[in-house]
Amino acid sequence: MKIDVVSIFPEYLAGLKLSLIGKAVEQGLLDLNVHDLRDFTFDRHNTVDDSPYGGGAGMVMKAEPWALAFEHILGEGTGGTSGEGTGGTSGEGTGGTSGDVEKPILIVPSPAGPVFNQRIAEDLSGAEHLVFACGRYEGIDQRVIDWSAERFDLRLMSIGDYVLNGGEVASMVMIEAVSRLIPGVIGNPESLTEESHEDGLLEYPIYTKPARWRDRDVPEILLSGNHGAIARWRRDRRLERTAAVRPDLLAELHDLDKHDRAVVE
Ligand code: SAM
């Protein structure tokens, strides 16, 4: 999978070089490019924002640097209509999107978008090319978002009902959630199957050695070696936990059997 991220703080994304995502990049499972939006500006101050039409607090990100950055990522032309430059210096183009080739997916993090979840992460993990546009200030001029919809499969995406200062952290959240689902990124793929949100239930409580720690014992059943009983115990804990903290998730599950229902009622 190819991932491009555009930000005025490219150093924010350095965390993606660590741990499993960093390894996936080293192994070539992920082709990750971070672009500095200011590379697509041509004035002395590398201006990316201006005051909002209609008044109001805060600044708005200008359309043209974003358009040039997107064109560069798509390998389109020499940097748009301004005639002021070559469309930046960082990252590599992808060779365009003509014909019936799948359009790259452009994700614009925004608290005004639908909320990202595990289903969306699974869907995105099958994509060939994701582009993340990290807004700052009050956000990005709507016209370039509308314009980008002609070139990309455009998705506004929130990571939750709260407001961050910029799209970098939100993009990293989504990149991590998506990348770990790409075959080969997680060493043992079985560790993905019983996770919270995988099948609509939250994960059961987990324990490791020693069996007794500060007078607290590991639940005896986990030491029994009885795999059937352990699986039942774990499912019961998942059901209880989900019913206690996320009844909204439980309400969406339609395959609970009699035993399951007895646990949650
Ligand atoms: N004026 C915007 C609004 O009211 O919807 C908020 C702008 S916020 C200060 C700046 C940027 O942070 C946004 O453009 C977006 O990229 C990012 N952001 C903030 N909260 C987010 C969230 N919950 N999910 C995804 N991105 C978020």
* In a shared domain, residues 21 and 150: yes
- Pick the atom of ligand 1 nearest to 160's CA: 23
* In a shared domain, residues 56 and 120: yes
Cα of 157 vs centre of ligand 1, distance in Å, is 10
* In a shared domain, residues 19 and 76: yes
**Structure-model confidence comparison of residues 132 and 92, the more confident one:** 132
Cα of 17 vs centre of ligand 1, distance in Å, is 24
pLDDT band at residue 198 under the 50/70/90 scheme: confident
* In a shared domain, residues 154 and 200: no
* In a shared domain, residues 65 and 125: yes
Quick one: average pLDDT of 119-148?
98
> Is residue 171 exposed (0-12), middle (13-18) or buried (19+ Cβ within 10 Å)?
buried
- Pick the atom of ligand 1 nearest to 165's CA: 9
* In a shared domain, residues 159 and 204: no
Query: What is the per-residue pLDDT for 78?
Result: 55
Q: Whose CA is nearest to atom 22 of ligand 1?
A: 111
Q: Whose CA is nearest to atom 11 of ligand 1?
A: 166
Give helix then strand counts, H and E, for the chain: 8, 9
Residue 160 lies in a domain: yes
Q: Does ligand 1 have an atom closer than 6 angstroms to the CB of 138?
A: yes
Q: Whose CA is nearest to atom 19 of ligand 1?
A: 164
Phi-psi region of 197 (alpha: psi -120 to 50; beta: other; left: phi over 0): left
Task: Name which of 121-135, 192-206, 246-260 the model is least confident about.
Answer: 192-206
Q: Does ligand 1 have an atom closer than 6 angstroms to the CB of 57?
A: no
Residue 113 maps to which CATH number?
A: 3.40.1280.10
Selection from 72, 95, 92, 110 nearest residue 32 by Cα? 92
Residue 189 lies in a domain: no
Quick one: average pLDDT of 169-174?
98
* In a shared domain, residues 125 and 232: no
Global ipTM: 0.99
pLDDT band at residue 99 under the 50/70/90 scheme: low
Query: What is the per-residue pLDDT for 190?
Result: 82
Residue 219 lies in a domain: yes
Q: What is the pLDDT of residues 33-90, one digit of tens each?
A: 999 999 999 999 999 999 999 999 999 999 999 999 999 999 996 554 443 433 444 4
Residue 52 lies in a domain: yes
Residues of the chain with pLDDT > 90, as a percent, come to 85
Residue 202 maps to which CATH number?
A: 1.10.1270.20
Indicate the annotated binding residues.
135, 159-164
Containing domain of residue 65, as a range? 2-179
Query: What is the per-residue pLDDT for 82?
Result: 43
Rounded mean pLDDT of the chain?
92
- In the predicted structure, residue 92 carries a pLDDT above the cut 80: no
* In a shared domain, residues 156 and 228: no
* In a shared domain, residues 42 and 100: yes
Strand positions, DSSP E, the chain: 2-7, 31-36, 49-50, 60-61, 105-109, 129-133, 153-157, 212-213, 216-217
> In whole angstroms, what is the distance from residue 219 CA to residue 207 CA?
9
Q: How many CB atoms lie within 10 A of CB 237?
A: 18
Residue 187 lies in a domain: no
Residue 186 lies in a domain: no
Q: How many CB atoms lie within 10 A of CB 5?
A: 25
Cα of 30 vs centre of ligand 1, distance in Å, is 26
Quick one: average pLDDT of 96-114?
85
Report the chain's terminal Cα–Cα distance, integer Å.
44
Indicate the annotated binding residues for S-adenosyl-L-methionine.
135, 159-164
**Domain endpoint, select from 112, 145, 179:** 179
**Domain endpoint, select from 153, 179, 205:** 179
Query: What is the per-residue pLDDT for 20?
Result: 93
Residue 191 lies in a domain: no
Quick one: average pLDDT of 198-214?
96
Cα of 242 vs centre of ligand 1, distance in Å, is 29
* In a shared domain, residues 93 and 135: yes
Residue 15 lies in a domain: yes
* In a shared domain, residues 31 and 157: yes
Residues of 190-219 as b/e, b for ≥16 C-beta within 10 angstroms? eeeeeebbeebbbebeeeeeeeeeeeeebe
**Domain endpoint, select from 121, 154, 179:** 179
* In a shared domain, residues 78 and 208: no
pLDDT band at residue 207 under the 50/70/90 scheme: very high
Q: How many domains does the chain have?
A: 2
- In the predicted structure, residue 15 carries a pLDDT above the cut 80: yes
Which of 48, 110, 117 for a ligand 1 pocket mutation test, highest count of atoms within 8 Å of Cβ? Answer: 110
pLDDT band at residue 101 under the 50/70/90 scheme: confident
DSSP 217: E
